[in-house]
Structure 1
Amino acid sequence: MNEDQPLSLPAQEATPVFDFADRPDYSEFVQAEGTGRRQPLAGFDPDYVDIVDYIVRCTHKIWEEKAVGLIYTHYAHNAAVHTGGGGLVYGREAVVRNTLQNQAIWGDLRAYADDVIWSGDELLGHYSSHRHVNTATHTGYTEYGPPTGRKILYWGIADCLIRENRIVEEWLTHDGVTILRQMGYDPLSLAKQAILPASAQTHGEIDRLPTGQQYPAFLDVPNGSENPQGFIAAVLQNMWNARLINMVREHYAPNHVAFVPDSRKLYGHGDYENFVITLLACFPDLAINIDHQALQGDERRGFRVATRCTLQGTHEGYGPYGAPTGRRIFLIVISHHIIRGGKVAQEWTVFDEFALLRQLYGQIGGAGGV
């Protein structure tokens, strides 16, 4: 897959697939089984009616019904699963193993589908960005110790490239710090115990600037109602890479609500500006690269844009992650934005802050991984 060539469809999708703008109940997915296809799905199991139904119900089957063996028919043999801190799980046998190990930890896991923003078709492959809220009770053993019996609730987003009923590539990120805090652990203490491979730290230049002493690109921001995908791409480039924090007041609604890591809910311009500036202060060379976008929705109900980015930076400033360590970070960041009236009205931005802490404080030179 060429990450520079995202799969995309026009905002107005003619096929009547499930649309989370309508807030469908899970019962609607179940009742749709056997009712016939809502869109072409060559090679997919016959009970799936469209790509949204596929990703929601196969997740339910594997995780909540515990039909773990369906991974063999729903993942390619050489599936690549990229985790939030740059790790890689390769092959469906490894996916089966990881799923069983996680289910042993969370006996009553529920993955509530909150949205699926998708693009593509049956020829090129479908691309889904599945936002979910997970609840569970810590009833099994982990690398950090025995069961605590505590309840957890956290956001996660999974991006999947799917061809003929099989996930061939997946990008996962979740609110790892929230999970550990709710389990009763101190994420920083655990991060300092982590053993990272010597290869975990890279030293090349971060490509935020074109070359040398040139300044970053300032992009023209298109109309958010006419080109929602380009609108989000330009705002993110200008705000994060060009340091134009004024993008917040120009292009975000005054009552904008954002859900970000560590279970934080930001409200309005001031909260969000502080979120951006704090990260930039901690990582002065921070740069994002947009790897994929998908678009759904319309002007009446709001456009929904899913954007997956790679974030890199060097910890050279003071902030919530402690005194500067000089360490480099690499994170997968996935955002879902809702645009109404040409402005960002809601946002979910998910990245794994525990993976970030591990990269800053883990012990370099071991045989472990990130």
Structure 2
Amino acid sequence: MTHSPPGVVPYGFDGPEDYIEKITYDIWNLPQRNPELIRKYYSPTTAIHLDAGDLVGDEVVIANTHARLRSYPDFHGVIDDTIWTGSEDEGYRTSMRWTWTGTDSGGTTFGPATQRPVTFMAIANCIVEGEVITEEWLGANPLSQARQLSYDTEQAIRATAYPPNTTVARPGFSFKATAEGDLVTTAFSKLLGDGNDTGLFSGGCRSSFAPDRERTGTAPIAGWARGLQAALGPLNIDVDDQYSLPPGEGKPLRVATQWRIAGTGPDGPVEFSLISHHHLADGYVTAQWLTYDELALAHRGILLPDYLTA
């Protein structure tokens, strides 16, 4: 579906960052919370791609939103950053990282209400045409949510249904590589290759592998890489999309990347998606946020070890 004009300014927004942040808060946060706005900003054909399987159409997004709000009536989200590319003439691609909090007072897919607090992080990469999100790739880790609610991995697997061997759809466009993106790609490739080289990460690099898995320094980064390799063997890394924003307004140079990582599980080849935000300074990665679905991997028999302390 193509919307004319493709930019967001004719629809009353100052730009792509204003657009994605305003509609997110209007849909999800009190006091203005209005999930019915999803019909305005998503279409009946909008696909949201996850390792758990695609969600298609505004009505599915509305139903999922209401289910989440029943679980966490005090739900509140804060947008941490939005990285974007594009123009008013061609439309935009946005990568929005946000953190939401809530108390499980309504019960979840994992079980009855626990009254436990949860902090959850997600990165949504969206194609925006006019005022409508026409396609989205969502990075999130439901197993982090389950852990915070005191469910173990086996309980989380039993409580959820995932389609087998899901492959997340590739974007239907090509991205233009940049020097900043190349640095992140090189850092990630060295990290996930032989030797788990962390040479392009600063000594004090802050890493969020999940809201309950945040660490500082290069040792946890190398441990995370070893954990993936222990579960999946040698890894193949591809970039599906990538773009960056220069420093400004108190923010560092930031790079958003949509990765495709492949390895071998107990039942054969496995491929999963990972969406990241990286901060760069002086030729090094100084902070990173990684979103991927550990529960989808667990459903395929791939149980990641306690890699951050390995």
TM-score, normalising length: structure 2: 0.84
| Partner AA of 1:189 in structure 2 | Q
1:43 is displaced (CA, Å) by 6.6
Q: Are residues 271 and 70 of structure 1, via their aligned partners in 2, closer, same or farther at CA, if it must alter by over 3 Å?
A: same
> Quick check: 328-337 or 185-194, which moved more?
185-194
| Distance (whole Å) between structure 2 residues aligned to residue 202 and residue 102 of structure 1 | 23
1:77 to 27, 30, 44: 44
Q: CA deviation at 1:361?
A: 7.1
Equivalence for 2:261: 311
Q: What's the TM-score, normalizing by structure 1?
A: 0.71
Q: What is the match of residue 45 of structure 1?
A: 11
Provide the C-alpha distance between the structure 2 equivalents of 1:97 and 1:337, rounded to a whole number of angstroms.
32
Equivalent of 1:235 in 179, 183, 187 = 187
Structure-to-structure mapping, 1:269-308, within 5 angstroms: 269-298=218-247, 301-308=251-258
Paired residues for 1:329-368 under 5 Å: 329-360=270-301
In the other structure, the counterpart of 2:35 is: 68
5+ residue gaps, structure 1, are 2-39, 204-221, 316-324, 363-370
Distance 1:274 1:145 in 2: 31
- Cα distance change of structure 1 residues 346 and 144 upon mapping to structure 2, 3 Å threshold: closer
SS at 2:301's partner residue?
helix
Cross-structure match for 1:167: 133
Alignment of 1:1-370 (within 5 A): 41-42=7-8, 44-46=10-12, 48-64=13-29, 65-83=32-50, 85-192=51-158, 194-197=160-163, 200-201=164-165, 227-240=179-192, 242-243=193-194, 245-246=196-197, 248-249=198-199, 251-261=200-210, 263-298=212-247, 301-315=251-265, 325-326=266-267, 328-360=269-301
CA offset at residue 180 of structure 1? 0.8
- The structure-2 alpha-carbon separation of the partners of 1:265 and 1:361, relative to structure 1 and needing over 3 Å to count, comes to closer
Seen in structure 2, the aligned counterparts of structure 1 residues 332 and 298 have a Cα distance that, compared at 3 Å, is: same
Counterpart-to-counterpart distance in 2, 1:202 and 1:172: 14
- On the 8 A contact 2:240/2:260 being kept in 1, the answer is yes
**For the Cα contact (< 8 Å) 2:28–2:34, is it kept in 1?**
yes
The structure that has the greater radius of gyration is: 1
Separation in structure 1 between the aligned mates of residue 286 and residue 147 of structure 2, nearest angstrom: 29
Contact 2:107 2:113 in 1 (8 A): yes
Q: CA deviation at 1:161?
A: 0.7
Where do 4+ consecutive residues of structure 1 move more than 6 Å?
Answer: none
- Single out whichever of 92-101 and 160-169 deviates more from structure 2: 92-101
In structure 2, the CA distance between the partners of 1:139 and 1:193, relative to structure 1 (3 Å rule), is closer
Q: How many residues align?
A: 287
Q: Percent identity?
A: 26
What residue in structure 2 maps to residue 218 of structure 1? none
Question: What is the alpha-carbon root mean square deviation over aligned residues?
Answer: 2.6
Tell me the secondary structure at the aligned position of residue 246 of structure 2: strand
Q: CA deviation at 1:267?
A: 2.0
Aligned AA (1:56)? E
Question: Is the 1:258–1:347 Cα contact (8 Å) retained in structure 2?
Answer: yes
After superposition, the Cα gap between the structure-2 partners of 1:361 and 1:175, relative to the gap in structure 1 and judged at 3 Å, is closer
Change (3 A) 1:195 1:133: closer
> Deviation per CA, 1:122-148, whole angstroms, max 9, x where unpaired?
232211111111101112233333222
Matched letter for residue 243 of structure 1: D
| Separation (CA, whole Å) in 1 of partners of 2:136 and 2:146 | 23
Gaps of 5+ in 2: 168-176, 304-310
Alignment partners' CA distance in 1, 2:8 and 2:159: 48
SS at match of 1:228: helix
Question: Is the partner of 1:360 in helix, strand or coil?
Answer: coil
